[in-house]
Amino acid sequence: MEKISVISGGTSGLGLEIAIILLKSGKNVMILGRNSEKLASVSARLKKLAKNNIAEILFCNIGKEKDVQNVGDYLNKNKFSVEYLFNNAGMGLFVKAAASTSAMIDMVFEANLKGMILLTSEILRITPEESELTIVNIMSTSALLGRAEETIYCAAKWGARGYTEALRTELKGTKRNIIAVYPGGMRTDFWKIPGQNRDTSNFMDPAEVAEKIVNAVLVTDKLFVTDITINRKK
């Protein structure tokens, strides 16, 4: 079976930069996204970078179980074995606690927590026990501390952190490695939220953050990183 790295939320920002670095490192890559136009545009760019390796794209809303199952079916059908899973997809919402609604909660939890759980479960299900698998859960520093006007977002990220820790405990002693990543603010489309203007001029470059993550993840000696926190210099 051909080894491949799967990246959710891979059409822009950090996910795309991770895909680019992996391709340049000789890895096969599959990016998942829910915007067909962005997927098509990114596909052309990644295929130019791919030489003897593979650059796949697949439509997937990771919050929808059927979409996630389609990913598993596609990987099996094409005889791909997942070597690295980068759970990178997510979305922000910044409102006062009193403004929270059921729709907001569902939207944020689906993108940041439910999708991570569904995709991870599917990849675990289809990956043979004898195959090495590294799961990289990219969250946020908002999974480490509470922030004003981020109550729903922090709740989802703290849930993702709890899931990651429990997953690590459950899979201890197997060929599954779990890496938790907590990046601070980056200059990406994440902050392009209608009605909410944020000055991101001093935020981190996603390409530089991606390099830090991939360099740590691809270490092949007897040591491996379990948790990565990345912040900009003050």
Kindly state the average pLDDT of the residues 196-221: 82
Q: How many residues does the chain have?
A: 234
> What digits encode the pLDDT tens for the residues 102-116?
999 999 999 999 999
Q: How far apart (Å, rounded) are the C-alpha atoms in residues 125 and 158?
A: 25
Residue 234: band (very low, low, confident or very high) from pLDDT cuts 50, 70, 90 = low
Cα dihedral 100/167/86/60 (nearest 10):
-60
17 near 46, Cβ under 8 Å? no
Sheet holding 55-59, edge to edge: 55-59, 29-33, 2-8, 80-87, 133-138, 176-183, 227-230
Q: What range defines the domain where residue 107 resides?
A: 2-230
- We report the CATH number of the domain holding residue 218 as 3.40.50.720
Angle at 140 between CA 42 and CA 55, to 5 degrees: 20
> What digits encode the pLDDT tens for the residues 132-186?
999 999 999 999 999 998 999 999 999 999 999 999 999 999 999 999 999 988 6
pTM of the model: 0.92
Evaluated on CA atoms 192, 21, 46, 62, the torsion sign reads: negative
Q: How far apart (Å, rounded) are the C-alpha atoms in residues 216 and 221?
A: 11
30 near 52, Cβ under 8 Å? no
CA distance to 112, 139, 144, 173, per residue, from 177 (Å): 20, 16, 21, 9
Give the other-Cβ count within 10 Å of 196's Cβ: 12
What domain count does the chain have?
1
Enter the tokens of residue 135: 């799961």
